[in-house]
Amino acid sequence: MDEPARRERLAEIAPDLIDELEAEAETDEHVLPDLPDAEPGAVVMRAAPNPNGPWHMGHARMPAVIGTYKERYDGEFICRFDDTDPETKRPDLDAYDAILEDIDYLGFEPDRVLKASDRVETYYEHARELIDLGGAYTCDLPGEEFSELKNAGKPSPNRDKDPETVREEFEAMVDGEYAAGEMTLRVKTDIEHKNPALRDWVAFRIVDTPHPREEAADYRCWPMLDFQSGIDDHLTGVTHIIRGIDLQDSAKRQRFVYDYFGWEYPEVLHWGHVQIDEYDVKMSTSTIKSLIEDGELTGWDDPRAPTIRSVRRRGIQGEAIVESMTELGMSTSDVDLAMSSVYANNRDLVDDGANRYFLVRDREDDPAVERDVVGGPEAGHPPLHPSHEDRGDRTIPAGRVVVEESDLPANGDRVWLKGFGCVRHVRDAFEYVGDDIDMVREEGVDVVHWVPADESLETLMRGVEGDVRGRAEPAIADADVDTVVQFERVGFVRVDAFDPEPADGAGGPTGEEDLVVYYAHP
């Protein structure tokens, strides 16, 4: 009895059990916990990336989780670029679109896209209001001096300035009358708060370096993340903030501002850092950036880089990443994501569509070896997909063939060239023995992949572990660029290009190849 039949039968004998079964199946699909106090149709969340480069794998967690909740609660997904530091975390002008593209690849589309650097006037207005409420003061103490006072629980001498002076000095900050480091605007919190991290934090500071965006290049007085983000979350109606544990204290800091304004703070969830196994390269935007600049990596989509673009180029579906990311749950402890989990999800997605081809690898420790085939048909005809015979067969010319050395049988032994037939290794040649499949089924002859020596394509297979060269069967020329195929007994790859241009960095095509593929996973 198959699944639908079983269900039908159950519906006849115990209709109430069916409801129970369906209810269970539904909750099981929710890998992520329910959001606290979430009203369907009234959930607003934001991803707040810093646009300082394309995303690495760790960044995928935010859109994956927000997007998944958005779908569950029919909520809103805001993408807000927190680009308020033109200097130390200087925005990269290409990164805004690069990040939106990465989100799109993951299968989500933000309902709104905002840039903090467009909203500076709004932050100024709220700063003025906060000053009038007595909630902020201008402070000209050097950071180190303030830090000492703060750690001792002692106030800055500027703390009790009257609002008029504060207002004047803040306007002077806005007007660019101070140089970097000369003046800040601090939020008046509780200078004796038991957590030193919350004491009178900086809301605005002066940055001399102009913002790279032309629209924002004239501003010198910039808000700090906690101020900007706190104001924006309220103004854009964010109901649920999801962020990393590095921002654990942010909510506590921002609450002081919310209290001054009489606002209600959103629900907050924190999660730990994600580490990903399998990569040698550290998962950090700046590290990857400098490796690319040094030519160690061929770009953001180099298969050795732990970036979204890299796995995308390898033919891994965004959905596979989203599934793995949501499976990580929402725990506050640091987690390791096993790439094998992404691979397992991806195999599910691509196996059915991936046509099969042969690639004979030529590696130092397992070189490709050529042999003449004596006798037998002119070509082999393995199917394009074992589960879809309707897709037809490939044609692989025999004659002189190439196999991987480790697949070469000892002299006098037999091997089955898949889709062709059984041959015996005799005096450096393959003598055709026949096509009786019982030799495989009952006599234990191994089945191996092979390609013709002459008609095959010079192939470069790029992967996490580095580049591998080899020869692909001619029929792969029928595969479209950008499709995922499976090299039997090797793994899934994405067809990247035919007759590729040479690359400049370390690794990549030399220009002599007929085909470049990117290796996804076994």
Partner RNA sequence: GCUCUGGUAGUGUAGUCCGGCCAAUCAUAUUGCCCUCUCACGGCAAUGACCUGGGUUCGAAUCCCAGCCGGAGCACCA
Which residues in 32-61 contact RNA (CB under 7 A)? 33, 48, 50
Between 140 and 177, CB nearer to RNA: 140
Binding to RNA by residue 424, rule CB under 7 A? no
Q: How far apart are CA 452 and CA 387, in angstroms?
A: 25
Between 361 and 513, CB nearer to RNA: 361
- By CB under 7 A, the residues from 251 to 270 that bind RNA are none
Binding to RNA by residue 481, rule CB under 7 A? no
The two three-digit tokens of residue 31, written as one number: 């890998």
**DSSP code of residue 265:** P
Q: Annotate each residue in 430-449 with x if it binds RNA (CB under 7 A) or - if it does not, as one string.
A: -----x-x--xx-----x--
With CB under 7 A as the contact rule, the residue among 20, 125, 246, 259 that binds RNA is 246
SS3 120: helix
Closest C-alpha to 114, from 102, 122, 125, 106: 122
- By CB under 7 A, the residues from 120 to 179 that bind RNA are 140-143, 146-147, 150-151
- By CB under 7 A, the residues from 270 to 289 that bind RNA are 272-273
- Side-chain half-sphere CA neighbours of 407 within 13 A: 27
With CB under 7 A as the contact rule, the residue among 284, 290, 332, 411 that binds RNA is 332
Q: Report whether 343 contacts 521 (CB < 8 A).
A: yes
With CB under 7 A as the contact rule, the residue among 22, 168, 334, 366 that binds RNA is 334
Smallest gap from Cβ 174 to RNA, in A, equals: 14
What lies within 8 Å, CB to CB, of 208 at 6+ separation is 87, 179, 180, 220
Binding to RNA by residue 306, rule CB under 7 A? no
SS3 281: coil
Binding to RNA by residue 458, rule CB under 7 A? no
Between 108 and 201, CB nearer to RNA: 201
With CB under 7 A as the contact rule, the residue among 213, 220, 356, 414 that binds RNA is 356
With CB under 7 A as the contact rule, the residue among 60, 127, 131, 224 that binds RNA is 224
Amino acid 47 reads A
Output the CA angle 466-103-482, nearest 5 degrees: 50
Radius of gyration, alpha carbons of the chain: 31
**What H or E segment, with its residue span, contains residue 147?**
helix 143-151
Could you tell me which stretch among 61-69, 256-264, 280-288, 382-390 binds RNA (CB under 7 A)? 382-390
What number of chain residues touch RNA (CB under 7 A)?
Answer: 84
Smallest gap from Cβ 510 to RNA, in A, equals: 28
Between 145 and 499, CB nearer to RNA: 145
Smallest gap from Cβ 145 to RNA, in A, equals: 8
Smallest gap from Cβ 406 to RNA, in A, equals: 8
Q: How far apart are CA 311 and CA 343, in angstroms?
A: 10
Amino acid 43 reads V
Say how far residue 146 (Cα) sits from the centre of its chain.
Answer: 40
Q: How far apart are CA 264 and CA 276, in angstroms?
A: 36
Between 195 and 510, CB nearer to RNA: 195
Binding to RNA by residue 89, rule CB under 7 A? yes
Binding to RNA by residue 247, rule CB under 7 A? yes
- By CB under 7 A, the residues from 180 to 209 that bind RNA are 180-184, 194-197, 199, 201-202, 205-207
The two three-digit tokens of residue 81, written as one number: 């670029």
Q: How far apart are CA 317 and CA 330, in angstroms?
A: 22
The two three-digit tokens of residue 290, written as one number: 């400098």
Smallest gap from Cβ 400 to RNA, in A, equals: 19
Q: What's 436-449 look like in SS3?
A: CCHHHHCCCCCEEC
Q: How far apart are CA 131 and CA 126, in angstroms?
A: 9
Between 295 and 375, CB nearer to RNA: 375
Smallest gap from Cβ 268 to RNA, in A, equals: 11
What residues are paired with 404 via a beta bridge?
Answer: 368
Between 146 and 518, CB nearer to RNA: 146
Binding to RNA by residue 463, rule CB under 7 A? no
Q: Report whether 470 contacts 459 (CB < 8 A).
A: yes
Between 65 and 297, CB nearer to RNA: 65
Q: How far apart are CA 407 and CA 302, in angstroms?
A: 31
Could you tell me which stretch among 63-71, 332-340, 423-431, 451-459 binds RNA (CB under 7 A)? 332-340
Smallest gap from Cβ 512 to RNA, in A, equals: 27
